[in-house]
Structure 1
Amino acid sequence: MATRVQQKKKRGSGGLIVWVLLPLIALVAFNSVLLLLIGMAPTLVALFIDKRPEKYAAYCVGGFNLCGAIPYLLKLILGGHNFQALAAILTNPVAWLVMYGAAGIGWAVFHYTPEIALRVAGLKERQQIAGMKKRQEQLVEEWGDEIVPLREDI
């Protein structure tokens, strides 16, 4: 069985690789990294705002935000991956609308999904209760009224 120190060392080596690779990627693909940093700003905001350790807001907003940023990242890569292509994307208001609008949809999904889930669960519960009452009526017809106790306190 591995001790906690051994487990921390195992996790630490993966972190070292990330800290070595991130600067290299930032140097090689600076324009892409810059586009993603600017385009994914709502995800960073969600990451800092969400106080829960699970960071569900960052996952939800980040997924939608990434979907809005990827077409422009591909456009940058296929357009020569130079500063002029990056400037063309960043000066295009439609690009901002798509990237940040997708993040806004992510915020809406994050905000309204719990309410929708509660309403669907409540509807399902009411349908189950109606089914049970119907089954109870069938049992009363089959076995008689004596199987249902009389309750005066209702």
Structure 2
Amino acid sequence: MSTDAQSKTGAKGYVPLLVFIALGSVFAPPTIIVLAVGMIPSIIARFANPARVPGTIASMIALNLAGVIPALGFLWERGHTIDQALDLLSDPYMWLMMYGGAGVAAFLLWGVPTVVLAFYEVQAKQHIKRLEKRRSKMIEEWGAQIIEDSKIQPSAGKNKKTPKS
């Protein structure tokens, strides 16, 4: 697929979003205000990480939206007005709730792999120490000759033809 075709198919994905924003701005401006402010981490992640692993942005958007939806529920419950939307946005706990989902997503996407890598590195170092202990015990038991014997190439005699009886 050429780059022109890729850019055209990528642009098609934005059309429904733009229609939603346009209609929402006309019919439900308070919802769009809270939604736009709450989804800022996902928007930044979308454009700041172009070489992303497939699915990371979808995960970020889903968890960010999970944090924004309760704020929208409070907005609709308290009276769907622009003043209520601005009151919600002035509450730090609403910001914590909205951006908390994005924070969880960021930890899951970027923090967990780092923690797992560190765990595997520690595990590998412990395994190396166990192997070194085992090697030193073998040297004590069999002597230093075992090191010289291990340097012999096992495949050295495989290709030689043996006389048939």
TM-score after normalising by structure 2: 0.56
Q: For residue 61 of structure 1, report the CA deviation from its aligned partner.
A: 2.6
Distance 1:105 1:15, change over 3 A: closer
- Aligned partner of 1:45 in structure 2 is 44
- In structure 1, stretches of 5+ residues that fail to align are 1-6, 124-150
* Percent identity between the two aligned chains: 26
Distance 1:100 1:118, change over 3 A: same
Count of matched residue pairs: 146
- In structure 2, stretches of 5+ residues that fail to align are 123-148, 153-165
- Aligned partner of 1:153 in structure 2 is 151
Distance 1:93 1:17, change over 3 A: closer
Distance 1:122 1:16, change over 3 A: closer
In structure 2, how many angstroms separate the alpha carbons of the residues matched to 1:16 and 1:59?
14
- Aligned partner of 2:16 in structure 1 is 18
> 1:81 aligns to what SS in structure 2?
coil
Q: For residue 75 of structure 1, report the CA deviation from its aligned partner.
A: 1.1
RMSD: 4.5
Query: Which residue identity lines up with residue 33 of structure 1 in the other structure?
Result: I
In structure 2, how many angstroms separate the alpha carbons of the residues matched to 1:57 and 1:39?
18
Distance 1:20 1:111, change over 3 A: closer
- Aligned partner of 2:29 in structure 1 is 30
Aligned pairs (5 A) from 1:84-103: 84-103=83-102
Aligned pairs (5 A) from 1:136-151: none
In our comparison, the structure showing a higher alpha carbon Rg is 2
Question: CA contact under 8 A between 2:29 and 2:82: conserved in structure 1?
Answer: no
Distance 1:20 1:44, change over 3 A: closer
Greater share of residues in helix: 1
Distance 1:120 1:60, change over 3 A: farther
1:41-99: CA deviations, max 9, x gaps? 1111111111x455644223322211111101111122221112212201111111121
In structure 2, how many angstroms separate the alpha carbons of the residues matched to 1:79 and 1:58?
31
In structure 2, how many angstroms separate the alpha carbons of the residues matched to 1:152 and 1:47?
54
In structure 2, how many angstroms separate the alpha carbons of the residues matched to 1:16 and 1:105?
26
Question: CA contact under 8 A between 2:24 and 2:31: conserved in structure 1?
Answer: no
Deviating beyond 3 angstroms after TM superposition, the runs of 4 or more aligned structure 1 residues are 14-17, 52-57, 115-123
In structure 2, how many angstroms separate the alpha carbons of the residues matched to 1:58 and 1:107?
10
Question: CA contact under 8 A between 1:57 and 1:107: conserved in structure 2?
Answer: no
Question: CA contact under 8 A between 1:60 and 1:107: conserved in structure 2?
Answer: no
Q: For residue 21 of structure 1, report the CA deviation from its aligned partner.
A: 3.4
Question: CA contact under 8 A between 1:61 and 1:103: conserved in structure 2?
Answer: yes
Distance 1:61 1:87, change over 3 A: same
